[in-house]
C-alpha cells in the first residue's frame, strides 16, 4: 500500500486530496497541529466522509524536529505540503506569521524530507498570487513573478526553495502553481464562498444584502476536486517539474455574483453592495492561467465549469443554513 503524508489535511485541498488518494488505495497520513479547536478542525474531512480513514500524526510546520520524526517513522512515498496561512487579506495583518508558516514552513518540510527520507516525492502548493502585478496577459510557467501581498511573497519563497532543493539535492520535488480553485469546502473568508453563502442567506431570508470589495477583479476559477488530481499526477511523473494548473478562463467577481445569484433565482444587482473596507491595500486585478504544459505533459484538463461550480456551492450553502434553521 502506498503511503502519503499531507500537511494542511484539514483544509479544502487536503480534504479533497485525502478523498482522492484513499480512492486510489493509499494509506493517508494527515499532519495535525494541535490547538484549542482540534475538536472541530476535521469538519471538511467529515463532510466528505473520510475522517475515520486518515491516520493523524502530531506535528507542526514550525517544528522541524516533529517533521523529521514523522518522515523517519512513517517513510511516506509522497509528501504533499498544502499547509499555509492561506488567506491573502490576513497576510497584511500578520505578515511575519505568514512568512514563518507559508514560507519557512515549506522549507522545514523540504529539509525534513532531505534529512529523513529523500526517496519521498514532494509536492509544494504554489499559488497564482505569485504572478501578482501580471507581466503577461496569460500566465504560464515562464511568466515572471511580481507578488503583491505578504502571502504571495511567502509562497514565492517556498516555490523557489522547492526548485532549489530539486536542483541542489536531487529531490523529486514539484510545484503546482494553482490558480483559484473553489468548492463547497472553501473557507468562508474567501470571496467565492462569501458570495455563495450570502446568496443562501438572502434566499432564506436571513440577510438582505451582500457587502463585497472589488467587483472588477477577475480570476481563473476552477474546482478543487479537479486540481487535487493534478497534484497527484505531478508526483507520478518520472521527472519532477513545475506546472500551472488553471482553466484558462477568467471571470470577474461581479460576473461570479451574477451566476451564483441567478442559480438561486435572484438578481445580484439587487443585493450586492460595495464595501470600501474590503478593498486590498495592493490589488491583483487579473489572473488568467495557461494550463497548456499540464495538458501536454500530464494529460490534465479542468473538467468542472464555473456555472456548475457556483451551483454546487450555492446548493451546499442553502442546505447548511436550512439545517441550522431546523
Report if residue 235 sits inside a domain. Answer: yes
Residues 240 and 311 in one domain: no
For residues 235 and 128, membership in a common domain is answered with yes
**β-bridge partners, 244:** 177
Residue 37 is predicted with a pLDDT of 54
pLDDT for position 39: 57
Point out the residues of the chain with pLDDT beneath 50: none
**Residue entry with cell 465549469:** 305
Closest CA relative to residue 309, chosen from 229, 250, 223, 224 = 223
In a domain, 65, yes or no: yes
Question: What confidence score (pLDDT) does residue 273 get?
Answer: 95
Q: Which three cell numbers stand for residue 224?
A: 478543487
236 and 253: one domain? no
Q: According to DSSP H, which parts of 48-190 are helical?
A: 64-74, 88-93, 95-98, 105-116, 150-169
**Does 90 fall in a domain?**
yes
Q: Which residues are bridge partners to 57 per DSSP?
A: 31
| Domain extent for 257 | 187-219+249-287+304-325
Same-domain check for residues 200 and 67: no
Indicate if 10 and 146 belong to the same structural domain.
yes
Q: What backbone phi and psi angles, to 5 degrees, belong to 176?
A: -100, 115
Instruction: Give a yes or no: residue 58 inside a domain.
Output: yes
- What is the tens place of the pLDDT at every residue in 179-223? 999 999 999 989 999 999 999 999 999 999 999 999 999 999 999
Residue 210 near residue 141 (C-beta atoms within 8 A): no
Same domain membership, residue 321 and residue 236: no
In a domain, 295, yes or no: no
pLDDT of residue 298: 98
Q: What global pTM score does this model have? A: 0.93
**224 — phi, psi (to 5°)?**
-55, -35
pLDDT at res. 89: 80
Q: Which residues contact 169 (CB under 8 A, 6 or more apart)?
A: 114, 118
* Catalytic positions: 127, 129, 151
The CATH number that applies at residue 310 is 3.90.25.10
**145 lies in the same domain as 34:** yes
Q: Provide the number of structural domains found in the chain.
A: 2
CATH number of the domain that 225 lies in?
3.40.50.720
Judgement on whether residues 31 and 143 belong to the same structural domain of the protein: yes
pLDDT of residue 72: 98
Q: Is residue 31 part of a domain?
A: yes
Does residue 229 share a domain with residue 210? no
Task: State residue 40's pLDDT score.
Answer: 61
pLDDT at 236: 98
pLDDT at res. 313: 98
Residues 153 and 263 in one domain: no
The answer on 204 and 177 residing in a single domain is no
In a domain, 293, yes or no: no
Same domain, 36 and 91: yes
Residue 292 falls inside a structural domain: no
At residue 285, the pLDDT reads: 76
Amino acid at each position: 500500500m502506498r503511503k502519503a503524508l499531507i500537511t494542511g489535511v484539514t483544509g479544502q485541498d487536503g480534504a479533497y486530496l485525502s478523498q482522492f488518494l484513499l480512492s486510489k488505495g493509499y494509506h493517508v497520513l494527515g499532519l495535525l497541529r494541535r490547538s484549542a479547536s482540534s475538536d472541530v478542525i476535521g469538519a471538511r474531512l467529515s463532510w466528505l466522509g473520510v475522517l475515520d480513514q486518515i491516520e493523524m500524526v502530531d506535528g507542526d510546520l514550525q517544528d522541524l524536529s516533529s517533521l523529521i520524526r514523522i518522515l523517519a517513522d512513517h517513510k511516506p512515498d509522497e509528501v504533499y505540503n498544502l499547509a499555509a496561512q492561506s488567506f491573502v487579506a490576513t497576510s497584511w495583518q500578520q505578515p511575519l506569521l505568514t512568512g514563518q508558516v507559508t514560507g519557512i514552513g515549506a522549507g522545514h518540510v523540504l529539509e525534513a524530507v532531505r534529512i529523513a527520507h529523500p526517496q519521498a516525492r514532494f509536492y509544494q502548493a504554489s499559488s497564482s498570487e505569485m504572478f501578482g502585478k501580471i507581466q503577461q496577459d496569460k500566465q504560464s510557467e515562464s511568466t515572471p513573478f511580481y507578488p503583491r501581498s505578504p502571502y504571495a511573497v511567502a509562497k514565492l519563497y517556498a516555490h523557489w526553495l522547492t526548485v532549489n532543493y530539486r536542483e541542489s539535492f536531487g529531490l523529486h520535488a514539484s510545484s503546482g502553481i494553482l490558480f483559484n480553485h473553489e468548492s463547497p469546502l472553501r473557507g468562508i473568508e474567501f470571496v467565492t464562498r462569501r458570495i455563495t453563502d450570502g446568496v443562501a442567506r438572502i434566499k432564506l431570508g436571513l440577510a438582505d444584502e451582500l457587502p463585497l470589495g472589488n467587483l472588477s477583479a477577475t480570476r481563473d476559477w476552477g474546482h478543487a476536486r479537479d486540481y487535487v488530481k493534478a497534484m497527484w499526477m505531478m508526483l507520478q511523473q518520472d521527472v519532477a517539474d513545475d506546472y500551472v494548473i488553471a482553466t484558462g478562463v477568467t471571470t470577474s467577481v461581479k460576473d461570479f455574483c451574477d451566476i451564483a445569484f441567478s442559480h438561486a433565482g435572484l438578481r445580484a444587482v439587487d443585493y450586492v453592495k460595495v464595501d470600501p473596507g474590503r478593498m486590498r491595500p495592493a490589488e491583483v486585478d487579473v489572473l488568467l492561467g495557461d494550463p497548456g504544459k499540464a495538458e501536454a505533459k500530464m494529460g490534465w484538463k479542468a473538467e468542472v465549469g464555473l456555472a456548475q461550480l457556483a451551483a454546487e456551492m450555492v446548493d451546499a450553502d442553502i442546505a447548511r443554513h436550512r439545517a441550522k434553521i431546523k
